[in-house]
Amino acid sequence: MSGTSGYAFDNTSELAGGRFDALETCYDPVTFARLADLGVGPGMRCLELGGGGGSVAGWLADRVGPTGSVLVTDLEPRWMDGLPGRANLRVVRHDIGAEELPEGDFDLIHARLVLLHVPERGAALDRLVRALRPGGLLVLDEFDCGWIPVLASPSPESAALFERMHDAVMGIITAAGADMRWGAHAYAALCRAGLTEVASATYAESWRGGSSGTRLHQVNIRQLAGRLVEKGLTQEQLDDCMRLLDDPDFAVNSYPLITTWGVRP
Ligand SMILES: C[S@@+](CC[C@H](N)C(=O)[O-])C[C@H]1O[C@@H](n2cnc3c(N)ncnc32)[C@H](O)[C@@H]1O
């Protein structure tokens, strides 16, 4: 865990970069299409929360142009060091679980796969709502990790191994304070937080062994290897699972990405 944030992954490790690459490949097209569809455009003042590798922040900065601005935050902003400099883009270290934001400031706040990891997500959500100007839009892209059926596998045993490994990974992340079904809980939370025009849309696809999607599982397993062994998995099982995730005869449903949005009255 990094600091008191509750984030289960060591986001100073080199493996964090691999996670961001995989997330960007799998989900940037979905995020960009949705933000464009919701009317994100020139002149908007944006907050990108927990920006990770920074691809969404960079896209937003290009989209809002010189009359707009983007503030991008993260607990560990160093993964954004390589972002091409833009006059309308500012990167800051910030913990949404503990630190305030400017109030009434933003036309758009977007976060992908951040609040699910924040133990104080209710307080964080209230903080985000206060940071919107009246009429401003909050957009959350979040996983529901509760439905990822194995779609094809070289053997029933290998499918069972993947499921056991995935349950153990989810257990570790949940113990750090994450809500791995937050994608499905966000709609009610946005309504409770007082937003109007709340709506959601879900995206999922198949991830074949050797793809960017199964690489995300590999990064998670590699990063949590020590704790997975403490939970009773053997190094041999970890190795078998890593090989399975490279096998084109294996396929698993992606994590459903549930995008939920609402407007501050
Ligand atoms: C799963 S990654 C997602 C990164 C990026 N949003 C994406 O989708 O490509 C979660 C990110 O949230 C950041 N994070 C976790 N807890 C946070 C907190 N309390 N405040 C700000 N950022 C946080 C992590 O450092 C990490 O960069």
CA 75 to centroid of ligand 1, rounded, Å: 7
Residue range 88-147, pLDDT digits in tens? 999 999 999 999 999 999 999 999 999 999 999 999 999 999 999 999 999 999 999 999
Atom number of ligand 1 nearest to Cα 27: 8
Task: Name residues contacting ligand 1 (CB within 6 A).
Answer: 5, 7, 11, 20, 23-24, 50-53, 73-76, 94-97, 112-114, 117-118
CA of 73 to the centre of ligand 1 (A): 9
Residue nearest to atom 18 of ligand 1 (CA): 95
Q: Ligand 1: which atom is nearest the Cα of residue 11? A: 25
Alpha-helical runs (H) found in the chain: 15-37, 55-64, 121-131, 156-175, 182-192, 212-223, 225-230, 235-244
Task: Report in angstroms the alpha-carbon separations of 91 from 23, 94, 103.
Answer: 20, 9, 18
List the alpha helices (DSSP H) in 38-118: 55-64
Distance in angstroms between the alpha carbons of the first and the last residue of the chain: 36
Structure tokens at 164: 């056991």
Mean pLDDT of the chain: 95
How close is the Cα of 226 to the center of ligand 1, in Å? Answer: 22
Q: Could you read off the pLDDT of 144-185 as tens digits, one per residue?
A: 999 999 999 999 999 999 999 999 999 999 999 999 999 999
Which tokens belong to 76? 């560990």
Q: Average pLDDT in the 206-211 region?
A: 98
Look at residue 1 and tell me whether its pLDDT is greater than 50: no
Q: How far is the CA of 113 from the centre of ligand 1 (A)?
A: 7
Q: Quick one: how many helices (H) and strands (E) in the chain?
A: 8, 10
Residue 205 has pLDDT above 50, yes or no: yes
Q: How far is the CA of 236 from the centre of ligand 1 (A)?
A: 31
How many angstroms separate the CA atoms of 247 and 242, rounded?
A: 9
The residue length of the chain stands at 265
What helix, strand, coil percent values describe the chain, rounded to 5?
40, 20, 35
Summarize the confidence of residues 197-221 as an average pLDDT. 97
Tell me the pLDDT band of 14, cut-offs 50, 70 and 90. confident
pLDDT at residue 5, rounded to an integer = 58
Q: pLDDT by residue (tens digit) across 62-76? A: 999 999 999 999 999
Question: Can you name the CATH fold of 15-148+178-205+256-263?
Answer: Rossmann fold (3.40.50)
- Output the CA 6–ligand 1 centroid distance in Å: 11
- What type of residue sits at position 263? V
Domain-by-domain residue ranges, the chain?
A: 15-148+178-205+256-263
Percentage of the residues of the chain whose pLDDT score is greater than 70: 98
Residue closest by Cα to atom 26 of ligand 1: 52
Q: What is the pLDDT of residue 18?
A: 87
Q: Are strands 132-143 and 69-74 parallel, antiparallel or unpaired?
A: unpaired
